[in-house]
């Protein structure tokens, strides 16, 4: 109330009642106070006091009376007589209130003393409480360690507490009144602007993040944005509180990293809220994504053994119930990746003041590696104790510390007597001091040594041992111990000697083996490299030796090989080398020979020695040999090349009819290269479908009708063109590929023959040649597959075998041919007359046809001998009730001669050359039996 308002105030009771404050008139000299009834409210009285002035004087706080008197004196002596003072009064309820006195001296007496004062008494207790609260808030803000500042709608900092300026290293002048972008920099402001805009829009914001302040660097802060204004409306400003949590964040990060490094996770169960908390490593340990909520141990019961879960749940229940203070257990938990982890759980309970367990917390540590290490230690101890190898451990000064039982067994030494002694007690007199010094130096320098050595036992006996020595180092690299191990290898040495004998010498003939030849021949070549003499390598192969093995059996053939070895040994000198190369092949290395003529003479002596009759169970046998020779240095300067070229010469000797000697020539080298090229191409030919079948018709010589056809394989090479069978069939025979090629021929021939039958063109047998290799590989199964695959009847397949094949192992062949005959096949002997058939065997063979070899047919019209042989074969076949087929009929004169002699069937170029499948179809369609006349 202003002085003017007071001057116009009246004593109207209604007005006094309407004013909330107490209106008073005070006559100072008369000591009388008139006031409105609001005094009761102000003082908390139930009724107006009789003497309000006395009542007030009694209720003013004693500590405030002197200050009030000073205020009154100032009013009496002031020019305007204005009074304003605050003091405390005690209310009727005993509560202390604050009262504001406002008034004006309106009248003085003649001496100038105060006479009349009019004014208002106001209850300002609420305001005083607000001011006290505000002072407390200001104190809190001023003394807070959190940076606090007020930002207006223009993003200017209006107020800032000391912590804000101190923390950011700024003065109040650098902060207050300045834009945030200026104070913190544009980078920080840009990062904060989005959240600040939301706060200015009226949304309270809270976030934690890493910030990079120019003056402070990278800090982790907790930020609150509290908008000022009415709810739901844009704020006129924002109170910003920034708490620096960098140290806490770093500690938490360090703790998490430490837990991760130690594989220790922390967990907590709030028993009152039934809440679970996990540290980050707990999620890692149990293989749970970190964005999922923490789980109770109950949820992991299925991933551990039932007995362990029972222990775990009982232990946690005891801690939760307060039965026990702590609990520990190692459990095995199955991981999501299938591996089992060993986890050590520790649990402890926390109690409140009433002794109730309010929290259970603890740790979970991956002790898988530790348990594995412990198991390995136990295993190592077990290995140490049970090892069959002797083990000893010394200190850095090489004094024996401990030995295992095997050490005592192997050496015969007592463990108690050995411990404490120098390791020199194990030295053998077979080694000098330098030997052992080198061992210890190597172990110290390289970490270990191993090798063969001699040991000595308690009786002083030497024995060979395999030993090792390992240096054990401390973290600083200093050697702390040595570990030695050794084993008695006497038995192994004996076995190695026996193995060397087996490897280097042939067990059947006691001759040096191929392996020993590979070792000694290079040494012999080195000795002859600068000598005037030459050196010869003779590759010796026994001709048709397999026939002997097939006829007389392997025991007999072994005896023959022993006799051959004895005879060959009689052909060598002191410096020569004789080896069994394998099977029926021998290699003879002749040293210090003057010239090639001498090599030829020595080779002839070998042939003569082998040609002398041998006796086997009363049977006389005569052997022949084919020999190939290469000469050092003219045919090669290394062992492999000389052996390879001697082998090439041997093959040439066999190709020339066997029982002869051939020297290596460059033409043989070219032939060998051609052989290798053909072999390489031949191995891929089947897969590349390069083989073709041609068919040569067979004609009945009486009727001129088609009675069969022979399937002949051809090779269509992509670059060499059509390769003659005489070139690739021997290669296929030598390499064994003839078996696969022969099976393909049989399958294809049967398939096409069945196709011609289905087309109604030819229902005659198709003949397929068999090799010895196919016979040995099991021809019956091959035939069965071909017939099943094609659907061809068995009586429409003819198998041709050579005379030499059936006579090579007659008894075995007879059995196989009978099996084939039982299947319903037609069987014939090819190239009859070129071998040495036994008629007694021939009549036992279940064959249907004899085929006269083309070598006799070609000259029957000009050579009486060939004509006589051919006629004899025809009569022999008819006497054995066999059909006779002539091969290689190329002229009308040959046809007529054979027909006159009663030959049954013929094939050859005069009838038709071998035809491919398409050409044969044309032949079949056009053939009318035109040769019958």
Please name the residues in contact with 332: beta carbons below 8 A apart, sequence gap of 6 or more. Answer: 304, 305, 308, 340, 341, 342, 343
Q: How far apart are CA 311 and CA 328, in angstroms?
A: 10
* Helix (H/G/I), strand (E/B), else coil: 410: helix
Q: How far apart are CA 33 and CA 54, in angstroms?
A: 9
Tens digit of each residue's pLDDT (9 = 90 or more) over 572-586: 989 999 999 988 999
Q: How far apart are CA 122 and CA 126, in angstroms?
A: 11
Give the best-scoring range by mean pLDDT among 65-79, 305-319, 324-338. Answer: 65-79
Tokens of 62: 């004693």
Q: Higher-confidence residue: 522 or 730?
A: 522
Between the alpha carbon of residue 927 and those of residues 412, 554, 719, 890, 923, the distances in Å are 97, 53, 35, 18, 6
Q: Which letter does DSSP use for residue 233 in this model?
A: S
Between the alpha carbon of residue 478 and those of residues 446, 536, 781, 793, the distances in Å are 13, 63, 73, 87
Q: How far apart are CA 620 and CA 474, in angstroms?
A: 81
Supply the pLDDT for residue 744: 95
Supply the pLDDT for residue 6: 45
DSSP string, 732-766: HHHHTTHHHHHHHHHHHHHHHHHHHHHHTS----E
Supply the pLDDT for residue 180: 87
Supply the pLDDT for residue 647: 93
**CATH for the stretch 679-925:** 3.20.20.450
Q: What fold is seen in the domain 505-664? A: Alpha-Beta Plaits (3.30.70)
| Residue 929: pLDDT over 70 | no
Average pLDDT for residues 653-657, to the nearest whole number? 85
Q: Within 13 Å, how many C-alpha atoms sit on residue 777's CB side?
A: 17
Instruction: Identify the band that residue 828 occupies on the pLDDT scale cut at 50, 70 and 90.
Output: very high
Average pLDDT of the chain to the nearest whole number: 86
CATH of 3-129, one of 3.40.50.970, 3.40.50.2300, 3.40.720.10, 3.30.450.20: 3.30.450.20
Please name the residues in contact with 839: beta carbons below 8 A apart, sequence gap of 6 or more. Answer: none
Q: How far apart are CA 628 and CA 633, in angstroms?
A: 16
Tens digit of each residue's pLDDT (9 = 90 or more) over 43-55: 888 889 999 999 8
Q: How far apart are CA 55 and CA 284, in angstroms?
A: 78
Average pLDDT for residues 848-856, to the nearest whole number? 90
Closest CA to 830 of 811, 814, 807, 812: 807
**pTM > 0.85: yes or no:** no
Structural contact between residues 215 and 192, judged by C-beta atoms closer than 8 angstroms: no
> Is it true that 144-244 and 250-371 share their CATH fold?
yes
**Terminus-to-terminus CA distance in the chain, angstroms?**
163
Lowest mean pLDDT among 11-25, 87-101, 670-684: 11-25
Tens digit of each residue's pLDDT (9 = 90 or more) over 495-526: 888 888 888 899 899 999 999 999 999 999 98
| Residue 378: pLDDT over 50 | yes
Q: How far apart are CA 806 and CA 815, in angstroms?
A: 11
Closest CA to 448 of 408, 482, 477, 413: 482
Quickly count: other Cβ atoms within 10 Å of residue 588's Cβ.
23
Tens digit of each residue's pLDDT (9 = 90 or more) over 761-796: 889 999 999 887 887 777 899 999 999 999 999 999
* Helix (H/G/I), strand (E/B), else coil: 425: helix
Give the phi and the psi of residue 564 in degrees, each rounded to 5: -60, -45
Supply the pLDDT for residue 549: 78
Supply the pLDDT for residue 809: 54
Supply the pLDDT for residue 567: 93
Q: How far apart are CA 213 and CA 51, in angstroms?
A: 69
217: phi > 0 → left, psi -120 to 50 → alpha, else beta; which? left
Q: Which letter does DSSP use for residue 915 in this model?
A: B
DSSP string, 160-191: E-HHHHHHTT--HHHHTTSBHHHHH-HHHHHH
**Domain parsing of the chain, residue ranges:** 3-129, 144-244, 250-371, 387-489, 505-664, 679-925
Average pLDDT for residues 186-201, to the nearest whole number? 86
Q: How far apart are CA 343 and CA 258, in angstroms?
A: 17
Tokens of 102: 């406002």
Supply the pLDDT for residue 5: 47
Lowest mean pLDDT among 295-304, 747-756, 781-790: 295-304
Tokens of 597: 């003529």
Tens digit of each residue's pLDDT (9 = 90 or more) over 248-284: 767 766 666 666 666 788 888 888 777 888 887 877 7
Structural contact between residues 773 and 736, judged by C-beta atoms closer than 8 angstroms: yes
Q: Higher-confidence residue: 217 or 463?
A: 463
Q: Which CATH architecture describes the domain 250-371?
A: 2-Layer Sandwich (3.30)
Supply the pLDDT for residue 8: 44
Q: Which CATH architecture describes the domain 387-489?
A: 2-Layer Sandwich (3.30)
Structural contact between residues 144 and 161, judged by C-beta atoms closer than 8 angstroms: yes
Structural contact between residues 642 and 661, judged by C-beta atoms closer than 8 angstroms: no
Q: Higher-confidence residue: 338 or 571?
A: 571
Tokens of 577: 């080398």
| Residue 10: pLDDT over 50 | no
Q: How far apart are CA 179 and CA 200, in angstroms?
A: 15
Tokens of 221: 């802060």
Instruction: Identify the band that residue 376 occupies on the pLDDT scale cut at 50, 70 and 90.
Output: confident
Closest CA to 183 of 209, 212, 205, 215: 215
Give the phi and the psi of residue 868 in degrees, each rounded to 5: -65, -45
Q: Which letter does DSSP use for residue 422 in this model?
A: B
Closest CA to 265 of 250, 252, 283, 249: 283
Q: Within 13 Å, how many C-alpha atoms sit on residue 13's CB side?
A: 1
Q: Is the peptide bond before 633 cis (omega within 30 degrees of 0)?
A: yes
Tens digit of each residue's pLDDT (9 = 90 or more) over 523-575: 999 888 887 788 999 999 999 888 777 777 788 889 999 999 999 999 998 99
Q: How far apart are CA 4 and CA 286, in angstroms?
A: 83
Q: Which letter does DSSP use for residue 419 in this model?
A: T
β-bridge mates for residue 589, sequence order: 537, 577
Structural contact between residues 341 and 335, judged by C-beta atoms closer than 8 angstroms: yes
Supply the pLDDT for residue 14: 43
Q: How far apart are CA 567 and CA 23, in angstroms?
A: 158
Only one residue has tokens 């022969």, namely: 742
* Helix (H/G/I), strand (E/B), else coil: 438: helix
Average pLDDT for residues 209-216, to the nearest whole number? 81
Structural contact between residues 886 and 905, judged by C-beta atoms closer than 8 angstroms: yes
Tens digit of each residue's pLDDT (9 = 90 or more) over 126-158: 888 878 787 787 777 777 888 888 889 899 988
Q: Is the CATH number 3.30.450.20 carried by domain 144-244? A: yes
Q: How far apart are CA 217 and CA 246, in angstroms?
A: 11
Average pLDDT for residues 684-700, to the nearest whole number? 93
Average pLDDT for residues 734-749, to the nearest whole number? 90
């Amino acid at each position: 109330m202003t002085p003017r308002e007071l001057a116009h105030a009246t004593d109207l009771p209604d007005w006094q009642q309407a004013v909330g404050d107490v209106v008073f008139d005070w006559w100072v000299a008369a000591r009388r106070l008139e006031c409105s009834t609001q005094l009761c409210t102000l003082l908390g009285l139930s009724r107006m006091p009789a003497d309000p002035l006395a009542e007030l004087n009694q209720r003013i706080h004693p500590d405030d009376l002197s200050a009030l008197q000073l205020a009154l004196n100032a009013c009496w002596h002031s020019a305007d007589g204005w009074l304003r003072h605050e003091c405390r009064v005690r209310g009727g309820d005993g509560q202390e209130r604050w009262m504001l006195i406002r008034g004006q001296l309106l009248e003085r007496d003649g001496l100038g003393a105060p006479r009349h004062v009019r004014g208002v008494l106001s209850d300002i207790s609420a305001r005083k409480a607000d001011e006290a609260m505000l002072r407390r808030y200001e104190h809190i803000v001023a003394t807070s360690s959190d940076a606090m500042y007020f930002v207006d709608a223009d993003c200017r900092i209006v107020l800032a507490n000391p912590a804000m300026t101190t923390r950011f290293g700024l003065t109040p002048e650098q902060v207050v009144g300045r834009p945030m972008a200026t104070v913190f920099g544009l980078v920080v402001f840009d990062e904060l602007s989005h959240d600040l805009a939301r706060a200015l829009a009226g949304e309270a914001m809270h976030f934690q993040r890493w910030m990079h302040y120019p003056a402070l660097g990278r800090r982790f802060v907790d930020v609150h944005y509290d908008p000022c204004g009415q709810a739901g409306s844009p704020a006129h400003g924002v109170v910003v509180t920034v708490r620096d949590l960098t140290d806490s964040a770093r500690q938490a990060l360090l703790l998490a990293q430490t837990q991760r490094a130690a594989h220790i996770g922390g967990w907590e169960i709030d028993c009152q809220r039934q809440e679970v908390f996990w540290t980050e490593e707990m999620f890692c340990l149990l293989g749970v994504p970190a964005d999922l909520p923490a789980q109770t141990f109950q949820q992991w019961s299925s991933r551990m053994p039932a007995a362990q879960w029972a222990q775990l749940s009982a232990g946690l229940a005891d801690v939760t119930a307060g039965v026990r203070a702590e609990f520990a257990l190692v459990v095995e938990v199955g991981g999501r990746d299938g591996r089992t982890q060993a986890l050590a759980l520790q649990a402890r309970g926390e109690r409140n003041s009433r002794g109730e367990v309010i929290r259970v917390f603890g740790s979970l540590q991956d002790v898988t590696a530790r348990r594995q290490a412990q198991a390995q230690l136990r295993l190592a101890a077990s290995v140490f104790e049970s090892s069959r190898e002797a083990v000893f451990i010394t200190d850095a000064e090489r004094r024996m510390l401990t030995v295992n039982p095997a050490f005592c067994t192997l050496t015969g030494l007592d463990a108690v007597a050995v411990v404490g002694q120098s390791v020199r007690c194990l030295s053998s007199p077979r080694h000098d001091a330098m030997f052992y010094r080198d061992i210890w130096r190597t172990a110290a320098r390289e970490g270990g040594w191993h090798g063969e050595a001699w040991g000595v036992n308690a009786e002083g006996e030497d024995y060979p041992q395999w030993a090792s020595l390992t240096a054990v180092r401390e973290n600083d690299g200093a050697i702390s111990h040595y570990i030695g191990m050794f084993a008695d290898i006497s038995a192994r040495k004996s076995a190695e000697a026996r193995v060397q004998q087996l490897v280097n010498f042939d067990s059947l003939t006691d001759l040096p083996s191929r392996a020993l030849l590979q070792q000694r021949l290079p040494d012999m070549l080195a000795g002859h490299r600068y000598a005037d003499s030459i050196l010869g390598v003779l590759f010796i192969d026994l001709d048709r030796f397999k026939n002997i093995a097939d006829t007389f059996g392997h025991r007999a053939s072994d005896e023959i090989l022993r006799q051959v070895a004895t005879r060959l040994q009689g052909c060598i000198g002191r410096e020569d080398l004789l080896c069994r190369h394998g099977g029926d092949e021998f290699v003879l290395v002749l040293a210090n020979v003057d010239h090639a003529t001498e090599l030829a003479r020595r080779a002839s002596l070998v042939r003569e020695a082998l040609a002398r009759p041998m006796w086997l169970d009363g049977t006389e046998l005569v052997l022949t040999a084919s020999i190939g020779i290469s000469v050092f240095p003219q045919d090669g300067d290394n062992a492999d090349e000389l052996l390879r070229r001697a082998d090439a010469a041997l093959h040439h000797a066999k190709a020339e009819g066997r029982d002869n000697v051939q020297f290596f020539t460059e033409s043989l080298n070219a032939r060998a290269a051609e052989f290798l090229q053909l072999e390489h191409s031949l191995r891929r030919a089947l897969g590349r479908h390069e083989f073709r079948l041609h068919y040569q018709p067979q004609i009945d010589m009486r009727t001129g009708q088609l009675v069969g056809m022979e399937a002949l394989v051809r090779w269509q090479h992509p670059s060499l063109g059509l390769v003659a069978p005489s070139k690739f069939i021997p290669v296929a025979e030598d390499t064994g590929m003839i078996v696969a090629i022969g099976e393909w021929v049989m399958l294809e021939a049967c398939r096409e023959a069945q196709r011609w039958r289905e087309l109604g063109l030819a229902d005659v047998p198709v003949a397929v040649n068999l090799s010895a290799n196919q016979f040995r590989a099991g021809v019956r199964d091959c035939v069965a597959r071909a017939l099943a695959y094609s659907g061809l009847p068995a009586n429409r397949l003819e198998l041709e075998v050579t005379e030499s094949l059936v006579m090579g192992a007659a008894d075995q062949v007879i059995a196989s041919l009978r099996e084939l005959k039982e299947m319903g096949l037609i069987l014939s002997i090819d190239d009859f007359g070129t071998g040495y058939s036994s008629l007694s065997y021939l009549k036992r063979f279940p064959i249907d046809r004899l085929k006269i070899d083309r070598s006799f047919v070609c000259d029957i019209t000009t050579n009486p001998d060939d004509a006589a042989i051919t006629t004899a074969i025809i009569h022999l076949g008819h006497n054995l009730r066999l059909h006779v087929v002539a091969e290689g009929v190329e002229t009308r004169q040959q046809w007529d001669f054979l027909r006159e002699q009663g030959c049954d069937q013929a094939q050859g170029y005069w009838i038709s050359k071998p035809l491919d499948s398409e050409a044969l179809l044309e032949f079949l369609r056009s053939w009318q039996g035109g040769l019958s006349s």
